[in-house]
Chain A
Amino acid sequence: MAELLKKDQMKPGAIVEGGTMAKLNTGVWRTYVPMTDLEKCTNCLMCWIFCPDSAIKVSGGERHETDLQYCKGCGICAAECPVDAIEMKLESDVPPDDKKG
């Protein structure tokens, strides 16, 4: 993955490599954490297409866990899930080991 740049590493013409913000951790913004029950999930992928933070991992038509490095806890996924497989829980109420996204 492209490395995050420091200010003094700016190249002439202000050209930077794409996708370097992927190194940032916007998960620290979160107040509520989405807890997903993948057993309930029907892989409709609506949570993925509506996620503003590219935080829901998918492949081959299947939904995997939420990437908590990026998830800001907006709760759109939980609001739009047609089978209520996602529950938003207060981050401080969830023990670190239980946070699977």
Chain B
Amino acid sequence: MATTSLKQLSDMPELLSGGHAACPGCAGPIVIRQILLAAQQDDVYVVSSIATGCMEVSTTVYPNSAWRVPLVHNAFENSAATISGAEAAYRSLKRQGKIDKKVAFFAWGGDGGTYDIGLQSLSGALERGHNFTYVCYDNEAYMNTGIQRSGATPKGAFTTTAPAGKVSPGKGQTKKDLTAIVAAHGIPYVAQASPHRPRDLMKKVQKAVATEGPAFLNVLSPCPRGWRHPPEQTIEIAKLACETCVWQLFEIEDGKTTVNYKPKERKPVRDWLESQGRFRHLFAPRNEHLIEEIQADVDRKWERLLALEAMDKAQAD
């Protein structure tokens, strides 16, 4: 039986070695470690592909690798297409009786490789129904090239290509709702998770691995460099994102939405914005109205999510 007990997992092999080159306090390797621990159990082997991005450049520094599971890096835009091919080859080999191992296929991508550049290959793989899990570690900008805005960058955040100053108040557009786009493909399992709740994340990974067909996990991944927060606060910041409902923990199983975490008292978005330097300019008097806009946007999305959950529940009853 797959477990999420830390005590039992402590005897598992470490599948992402130390010595990789991610920045101190980066949430990316935390996400990868938790997911690999949860996935590679009960004689299941992990085979994965990775899009170009922070985790690719930092864990596979030429000509070495920190991964102790097979990993293919192909290009920025085709992590999902690459794993589609591997999964199709596996099915063929299995049919021919040439392989009998149980394999869980994983495609990894950052928000750049998923929300923007890899969206078409992801959409294709989801539509074709390959049996794989796509993991997006969402750090909300192109971080490894120096913090350029992406479709995942939230409104008002500073990036080097959406600078904050007298003319521009940071990024002017809202964050793309990728999880909803993926859910619209009608795949069996879609979830959002955060590394500050490892057991919730690991349970979702195990559900994704057990799913026949495509599964998608969108995991928030705080970035001390790009979000401008001290490295030790990475987990705190992820927690705050969920307490303010800027990031929501939920899963959609066969079209039915379940919200996994509802804060007893929602903290104001202001707390979230104050915690990171990338939003500092929003507290200047000329930008204060943006904070209200962001709060209203978060409120609307949260209420919509709760309404979706209630509607799905009512339909099931």
Q: Which residues of A contact B (CB under 8 A)?
A: 4-7, 9-10, 14, 16-26, 29, 43-46, 48-55, 58-62, 67, 69-70, 72-76, 78-80, 88
Cα distance A25–B20 in the bound complex, in angstroms: 9
Q: Which residues of B contact A (CB under 8 A)?
A: 6-8, 10-11, 14, 16-30, 33-34, 59, 61-71, 195, 198, 224, 230-236
Q: Assess whether A50 is in contact with B7, with CB atoms less than 8 Å apart.
A: no
Judging by beta carbons under 8 Å apart, are B19 and A79 in contact?
no
Residue in contact with B232 in the complex, picked from A6, A18, A79, CB distance below 8 Å: A79
* Nearest Cβ on chain B to A55's Cβ, whole angstroms: 5
Contacts of A49 in B (CB 8 A): 6, 30, 33-34, 198
18 additional contacts, CB 8 Å, given A54-B18, A59-B11? A16-B65, A17-B65, A18-B71, A19-B67, A21-B20, A22-B66, A49-B30, A50-B235, A51-B30, A52-B29, A53-B24, A54-B17, A72-B24, A76-B232, A78-B232, A79-B233, A79-B235, A80-B235
Nearest-neighbor residue (CB-CB) of B202 within chain A:
A49
- The reply to whether A75 and B66 form a contact with Cβ atoms under 8 Å apart is no
Q: Are A67 and B64 in contact (CB under 8 A)?
A: no
B61 touches A21 (CB 8 A): yes
CB of B7 to closest CB in A, whole Å: 4
Give the dominant DSSP class at B's interface: loop
Tell me the minimal C-beta distance from B276 to chain A in angstroms: 16
CA distance A20 to B17 in the complex (A): 8
Selected from B19, B70, B236, the residue in CB contact (under 8 A) with A69 is B19
* Docked-complex contact B64 and A20, CB < 8 angstroms: yes
Once the chains are docked, how many angstroms separate the CA of A78 from the CA of B235? Answer: 11
Q: Which residues of A contact B224 (CB under 8 A)?
A: 74
State the Cβ distance, A90 to closest chain B Cβ, in Å: 14
Q: Which residues of B contact A74 (CB under 8 A)?
A: 24-25, 224, 231-232, 234
Q: Are A70 and B19 in contact (CB under 8 A)?
A: yes
| The 7 residue pairs across chains A and B that have the minimum distance between CB atoms | A70-B18, A75-B232, A61-B7, A22-B17, A24-B19, A74-B25, A74-B24
